[in-house]
Amino acid sequence: MPGFELFGDLERKEVNDVLQSGVLMRYGFDGMRQGHWKAKELESEIKKQLNVAHVQLLNSGTAAVSVALAAAGVGAGDEVIMPCFTFVASFEAIMMLGAIPMLVDIDDTLTLDIEAVKRAITPKTKAIMPVHMCGSMANLNALKEICNTNELILIEDACQAIGGTYNGKSLGTIGDVGCFSFDFVKTVTCGEGGAVVTNNPDFYKNADHYSDHGHDHHGQDRGAETHPFLGYNFRISELNAAVGLAQAKRLPEFLEIQKKNYTILRKALSDIPEITFRTVPEGGVESYAFLNFFLPDLEMARRTSEAFKQAGIDGCFHYYDNNWHYVRKWEHLKNIKSLFPISNELKIGLKYLHTKSFEQSDHYIGRNISCLIKLSWSEDEVNERASKMVEAIKFSI
């Protein structure tokens, strides 16, 4: 992560195809497009790589989460259980449908704590959404069982974990529906883009129609198509899809580089007895997009984060003090700073955030540092980085 580091001739070729035909839209214009269907080709490529029956490309990962929920019938007043450590997009996408994000604690996997999920289930709960943060996953077998018992939908926000697996299956393809982001800083980038993946043909059909104003996509004449239900526009452009097509074909290469660089850094840090690493659930294999480790306490983590900055070690995050990824700094959500009036149902539904504390999550996020694994580092650069990190940590503990 991120794939843009390795842009080259392949990306340029795909984009040039689109510019030459001049068709920037993914639907229609069959005669003019000279056989170029970049969005469709990218959907096929993702299907093949993730081994999943259906893929719907969209214009962002945030749109992917909203479309996935809508496709599964989640809407106004429904509660969606999600972790308190994620990117803000996760709750934005839920609230866009009038549904209520129910934030719960994470554990040492840095994703949903199973017991906290069980405690959060109410008669209004409609879905559980684990977020596979920083390249690794929640205990999906346990979540599947909870969903089966309680008749809930399991939706995976796999935006940061493309290429990771669980019991041999690609992350994103294990629940009822999965979401990916191809924004500029993700492992595979379209510039902006996202995808919903599913093995459920009804959810796929819903996502396909809903993301294009309800168009049924039958026949060759867009104007003559029918609209079986209401929709919006979350379409991706052919230009964005073209970049993603070149990138997605390189995913196996990207994953190999991530794993190699991750392994060097992890091995170096393993020699420090005070350092522990995030737990990966049994059967899980990380995408190696990040290396996550814990310091013994909050102050040591703060000192380490500062020492990394002083030493010029970039791309490492102490999310406890970050505005975008952890509930501690989400005052705009707690106080519902909305530009427009929101429903009373949602207002009442979010009141719990004024009293709920997240001590267990503070315990993990406060001590965690998450380092982005880059694709463009040379082996010498990774080795040098590893020694600098070890030195900065030893100085801070």
Ligand X SMILES: *Cc1c(COP(=O)(O)O)cnc(C)c1O
Site stretch for ligand X (CB under 6 A), options 13-21, 82-90, 197-205, 266-274:
82-90
Query: Would you count residue 290 as binding ligand X (CB under 6 A)?
Result: no
Query: Would you count residue 194 as binding ligand X (CB under 6 A)?
Result: yes
Q: In Å, how far from its chain's centre is CA 316?
A: 18
Distance in Å, CB of 194 to ligand X, minimum: 5
Query: Would you count residue 319 as binding ligand X (CB under 6 A)?
Result: no
249 as an active site residue: the answer is no
Residues 132-191 that bind ligand X (CB under 6 A): 157, 159-160, 181, 183
- Residue nearer to ligand X on the CB measure, 57 or 375: 57
Distance between CA 85 and CA 20 in Å, rounded? 44
β-partners of residue 369 are: 293
Provide the CB-side half-sphere exposure for 294 (13 A, CA). Answer: 17
**What is the phi/psi pair of residue 5, to 5°?**
-60, -25
38-50 helix and 9-21 helix, angle to the nearest 10 degrees? 140
Query: Would you count residue 41 as binding ligand X (CB under 6 A)?
Result: no
Query: Would you count residue 287 as binding ligand X (CB under 6 A)?
Result: no
Site stretch for ligand X (CB under 6 A), options 60-68, 229-237, 280-288, 333-341:
60-68
Burial 153-162 (b: 16+ CB within 10 A, else e): bbbbbbbbbb
Distance between CA 277 and CA 279 in Å, rounded? 6
Residue of 2, 15, 43, 61 that binds ligand X (CB under 6 A) = 61
Query: Would you count residue 304 as binding ligand X (CB under 6 A)?
Result: no
Query: Would you count residue 240 as binding ligand X (CB under 6 A)?
Result: no
Binding mask 86-105 for ligand X (x = CB under 6 A): xx-xx---------------
Catalytic residue among 38, 126, 186, 374: 186
Instruction: Write out the H or E segment, with its range, that includes residue 230.
Output: none
Residue with CB nearest ligand X? 61
Task: List, edge to edge, every strand of the sheet that includes 276-277.
Answer: 276-277, 290-294, 368-372, 316-317
Distance in Å, CB of 289 to ligand X, minimum: 10
Number of Cβ atoms within 10 Å of the Cβ of 378:
9
Identify the CA nearest to 73 among candidates 53, 46, 52, 98.
Answer: 98
Residues near ligand X (CB under 6 A) are 60-62, 86-87, 89-90, 131, 157, 159-160, 181, 183, 194
Catalytic residue positions, numbered = 186
